[in-house]
A = this chain, B = another copy of it.
């Protein structure tokens, strides 16, 4: 049961739901013509189907390993990576001045998602590089840009990001890695970093680490952190990989999934690095990288969900068991109501999460192209929703995929379980989902709710416009957006952030459900209220949208009851 890239689905979303034409109407993205877009999706999709998908199981069976300090990747991964690099898929959105194609992030999001469906553990390598490219584009000196960007964009070199230390996870400001000025424009970096995805590989000429560290005059906390570029091999005068830097992979983690991707403990012993951006401004630069990566990780969740869904659908159409009430499918399990419900749930959740991620990417593109603040605010608002919504969809859909297979789902050879084990990390890395939700109710509402209310207004206008053709669905969506407005008002009324944080995750879940329903309604509208998309929208709005009420009740319950529960209340 091979993976099939959902090219026409992206095309529909571009054309009828998120309105990619707004992006391509700008000068910055004028080259992204419909022909170009179609060609990119088709070519990338084919590479995912033919080259990457066959590597998925191999990566699980033959985990990346450390041999005498050298990382060995799973069989076929080197060839797979070469196909990504030579196809230009490492970063199609990199700026043209250093070899990039300068295409919209919207398109990158679709391409990244397809690669994630096909082989998540390998896809993580270019995703890390993409984040590094963007951080360098925005913050590095011209010299560093000229030296590194062309090689990162081409995929000859790979990038990683190094934030976490054993005592500094969600609290990045607690990091202890230090940097000292070598007096020659370079710095000596010393410390240990953990959870470094693709900390090394055996298929690129060089691996470039972006490392957060503290200069001697850096104050404690996040305001004293600087960002450094630390290559594994120090480029010589011609820019070719030269002397080995003083850094090492100490060990690789034994993980629940994503076995093909080496997760490294990195040791820096006075390694030579170069400052990226201003001293003590490292968090700003890192956030550029992380915002990109957060949307990217949301896309990973959606990609895995798509893979798991296709896998389950094929099984449901093939597996004979019992007699069903469906005349067209009397023997196969897709004819059973409960199986059909599971498939419809999977498909409609994927649509919702995908539309949210693409809308976020589009806002980033509009910000890039126009510099307009309201697009920047939209992108910032949608990023945590895209990350949590995408990764929770990945976990839920993969979990349903296991369930749909019955006993076979628990057997590793089937492949359903791997999707679940692989995708589980996406809710954790690049800022846990809890951190994302706190970002949403905290920082992302610091504009007094302007961005959130603008989006709610847009959803309500769309619902009003849909009343003619789809009155019942439009009314359900409209009412839900009104509940979201009230919950947002409640959040804004809490000056004490703890009150907001106590309901952050359920608020985000409710928001995602309502936004997903809005996009479903738009899709139904686009086909005139009759057809497959309308049927799917009806399923989602009738059966899944009502969950928003439970989420929002939970979201606005406040913190008092949580802190009334003492640790001793929890004891057995």
Contact = CB atoms under 8 A, between A and B. Distances in A.
Contacts of A433: 403
Contacts of A257: 410
Interface in A407-429: 407, 409-413, 417, 420-421, 424-425, 427-429
A546 B544 CA distance: 14
B559 A554 contact: no
Interface in A243-257: 253-257
Contact of A407 (B169, B562, B571): B169
Contact of A502 (B317, B338, B563): B338
Contacts of A321: 169-171, 174
A462 interface: no
Interface stretch (A81-89, A268-276, A277-285, A531-539): A531-539
Contacts of A344: 561-562, 565, 570
A542 interface: yes
Interface residues of A, number: 100
A466 interface: no
Interface stretch (A2-10, A67-75, A140-148, A362-370): A2-10
A543 to B, nearest CB: 4
23 contacts: A164-B407, A170-B322, A253-B411, A256-B410, A256-B412, A313-B571, A325-B496, A325-B498, A326-B563, A329-B567, A337-B504, A338-B505, A340-B562, A341-B502, A344-B570, A347-B570, A403-B432, A506-B543, A538-B561, A539-B562, A542-B557, A543-B554, A548-B550
A526 to B, nearest CB: 16
A68 B347 CA distance: 45
A217 interface: no
A175 interface: no
A219 to B, nearest CB: 16
A286 B47 CA distance: 51
A185 interface: no
A1 interface: no
A256 B409 CA distance: 9
A562 B434 contact: no
Contacts of A506: 543
A424 B407 contact: no
A124 to B, nearest CB: 13
Interface string A544-560: 10111110011001010
Nearest to A498: B325
Given A6-B572, A338-B504, A434-B338, A535 B561 contact: yes
A350 to B, nearest CB: 10
A336 B171 CA distance: 12
Contacts of A429: 407, 410
B425 A410 contact: yes
Given A256-B417, A313-B571, 11 more contacts: A169-B407, A174-B321, A256-B412, A325-B498, A338-B504, A340-B502, A402-B428, A406-B428, A532-B568, A532-B569, A547-B550
